[in-house]
Structure 1
Amino acid sequence: GINVAIGDWSIQGVNGRDQLSARMVDYTMHLSLIGLKPPTLHNGNGLINFGVGGFSYYYSRTRMALTGTLTDHNQQLQVTGEAWMDHQWGNFLSFGNGGWDWFSVQLNNNTEMMLYFIRDAAGKVNAAYIGYIGADGQERLVSPAALRTNILNHWTSRVTGATYPSGWQIEINDSHVQTLLTLTPEVQNQELVVYQSTGNAYWEGAVTIHGQSAGTQVQGEGYVELTGYSR
């Protein structure tokens, strides 16, 4: 389980049932999450290849029911939704001037995907991972050879000058998975400038998704993290 608090921010939970609370000036959050699927140990045993960075332990709860309240200037809002929880740790090393593109995908047919690409300093992909979590909660690994991605747009930060991909088409065609998805950032500017904590700037934010999976129209939500573009 977990029981961590920093000031008015706290996380408590065990066995896929979590409580999140946070408080700051004019805003509060109290959320309850319940896992709807078993945890996914990525790569079967929870150990993944991080390319030039080494290896990392990694598991996810890819679909959790969420209920709770948000308070905005004394106005309390009841909220519901579906969440995704990641836990990643290890002794992986610095990526130098490289980085990664990471995607989480939740579709309305009760399936999910987690995929990432590790880039070296020259921008060459030297490790990739594609995991498809079926409605049964089992992860099926997809060969990178079955994946095609197209960057649909770019966005340049006025703060750091970094240019990030902004919109993607993801196509997977293998024996387990046949999908064609378009991912669009909900807001283009989701850059985090955090030089005082992690010492860098990167793009991390929400995307909306639509497309086809197994010949059926689907839609969904996702999250994308892009590192190594700001130097």
Structure 2
Amino acid sequence: MSGLVLGALSGLLLLFAVQTPAASALTYGPVSLPKDESAHVDAGMEWWYFTGHLTGKDVFGKSHAYGFESMVVRNDGLATAPAAVIYNVNFAISDLTRGTYKGTKEIYSIQPDVVPPGGGYNFTVGTVHMDGKNGVNHVSGGFPDLSYSFGGLTLSQSTPAALHGDSGVIGYGPFGQSGYYSQTNLKASGVLFDHGMAVNVTGTAWQDHQWGNWNPGEGGWEWFSLQLSNNTQYMLYFIRDKNNNYVQTVGTLVRPDGSTTNLPAAQLSQTALGTWTSPHTGITYPQGWKVDIPGGSLTVTPQLADQEVWSDLVPVGQYWEGTSSVSGTINGQSVTGLGYAEVIPYIDMPGKGYVWDSVKELLGL
């Protein structure tokens, strides 16, 4: 529970923690950067997160390969923004050299919103730091036990961010709307400390920033970020209701120059090729997919089976988020690539003034 901020601050929050029903979903205007890189005070939940693929050599010349996730989640479940907001970190390393995976979602903090002058973001939550503006981002820190930790990772791209949907606003079916953009072709370089060994790494990464004040309800989704050898990228988002009916499909093609095209939902589909049952939570996830897109299809294959983000302390919001290889054919041309796939089997859609009971218990609220 490293990073937990309690004591006097929690006592102060309790004075304000009169729980109100989740508000109706907010309607957002066109996304404007770098202003919208900052925290949104009116959002019930918001996240900034990176996934990526890194390779490098240690001081002895041994080669290493990794997938990684570093995400800061902001939850205004106590409706006390901007003075005090619940922040937490999800951090994961898929060590493809060892064939192992490690993740955590137990790094929590209660702290005020920080909005840098002119836009951008700058967070330190427990053992993880993230900051960025105008396509240049930095990540440092990692697991509290120092098994894996970034000594400093820079992620940058020169092309514009991809604004999904209608100028950065996507529909969520009955759950309302969300602001959403991505940096889809980040070049990464830095140092990863692997059990104390410095590994100089380079690679590619992807950043998502999404925020909303959703209508309450139960749902889930499958999501894919695909970075292909023809220097194009695809974001695909399949959103489900509590009955596992798909209520919204969103897709974006990002060209090499950063220009984008919204993909027709009717031309997008994903079919699971198998399943994997978690030994940690007992959840059975789809795993391995055939993805149909305009002009062709792709096969998305996890590079490790067990890449589940789970916690005994926070037994809600468990999900699978994994580095994957990609291959297929688009417009008659063979392509390969790397990607990340995410499966949210179930979630209570969060609005302002809503926080999960297990998180309240963890924070002593």
- TM-score above 0.5, yes or no: yes
* Secondary structure, aligned partner of 2:318: strand
Whole-Å Cα distance in 1 between the matches of residues 217 and 311 of structure 2?
A: 17
Moved more, 195-204 or 140-149: 195-204
Whole-Å Cα distance in 2 between the matches of residues 43 and 25 of structure 1?
A: 40
Report the CA distance between 1:230 and its aligned residue: 8.9
Of 173, 177, 186, 1:55 maps to 177
2:333 corresponds to 1:212: no
Name the one with the larger helix percent: 2
- Residues 118-157 of structure 1: CA deviation (Å, up to 9, x unaligned): 1112211111111111112111111122224321111112
Quote the residue 1:28 is aligned against: 149
Of 220, 223, 228, 1:99 maps to 220
- RMSD (CA atoms): 2.0
Quote the residue 2:125 is aligned against: 6
Contact 2:192/2:198, CA 8 A, preserved across alignment: yes
Report the CA distance between 1:198 and its aligned residue: 7.6
- Residues 37-58 of structure 1: CA deviation (Å, up to 9, x unaligned): 2111111311111113211100
Quote the residue 1:169 is aligned against: 290
Report the CA distance between 1:4 and its aligned residue: 1.1
Whole-Å Cα distance in 2 between the matches of residues 3 and 198 of structure 1?
A: 28
Between the two proteins, what is the percent identity of the paired residues? 39
Quote the residue 1:83 is aligned against: 205
2:263 corresponds to 1:142: yes
Change (3 A) 1:121 1:195: farther
2:247 corresponds to 1:130: no
Of 337, 340, 343, 1:223 maps to 340
Structure 2 residue ranges without an equivalent (≥5): 1-119, 349-365
One-letter identity of the residue aligned with 2:162? T
Whole-Å Cα distance in 2 between the matches of residues 115 and 133 of structure 1?
A: 11
One-letter identity of the residue aligned with 1:166? Q
Of the two structures, which has the highest relative contact order with CA contacts closer than 8 Å and spacing of 6 or more? 2
Contact 1:168/1:182, CA 8 A, preserved across alignment: yes
Give the structure-2-normalised TM-score. 0.58
- Structure 1 runs (4+) deviating above 3 angstroms are 194-198
Whole-Å Cα distance in 2 between the matches of residues 35 and 223 of structure 1?
A: 18
Report the CA distance between 1:197 and its aligned residue: 4.4
Whole-Å Cα distance in 2 between the matches of residues 123 and 7 of structure 1?
A: 35
Contact 2:317/2:346, CA 8 A, preserved across alignment: no
- Residues 147-171 of structure 1: CA deviation (Å, up to 9, x unaligned): 2432111111223222111011112
One-letter identity of the residue aligned with 2:258? G
2:70 corresponds to 1:70: no
One-letter identity of the residue aligned with 1:25? D
2:236 corresponds to 1:115: yes
One-letter identity of the residue aligned with 2:132? G
2:319 corresponds to 1:199: no
Contact 1:161/1:230, CA 8 A, preserved across alignment: no
Contact 2:323/2:338, CA 8 A, preserved across alignment: yes
Report the CA distance between 1:110 and its aligned residue: 0.8
* Secondary structure, aligned partner of 1:227: strand
Report the CA distance between 1:92 and its aligned residue: 1.2
Change (3 A) 1:3 1:229: closer
One-letter identity of the residue aligned with 2:297? L
Change (3 A) 1:36 1:110: farther
Whole-Å Cα distance in 1 between the matches of residues 186 and 138 of structure 2?
A: 12
Give the structure-1-normalised TM-score. 0.90
One-letter identity of the residue aligned with 2:227? Q
One-letter identity of the residue aligned with 1:158? P
- Residues 102-130 of structure 1: CA deviation (Å, up to 9, x unaligned): 11111011101111111112211111111
- Residues 155-206 of structure 1: CA deviation (Å, up to 9, x unaligned): 1122322211101111223xxxx13210011111112224644823111111
Change (3 A) 1:195 1:225: farther
Whole-Å Cα distance in 2 between the matches of residues 183 and 222 of structure 1?
A: 8
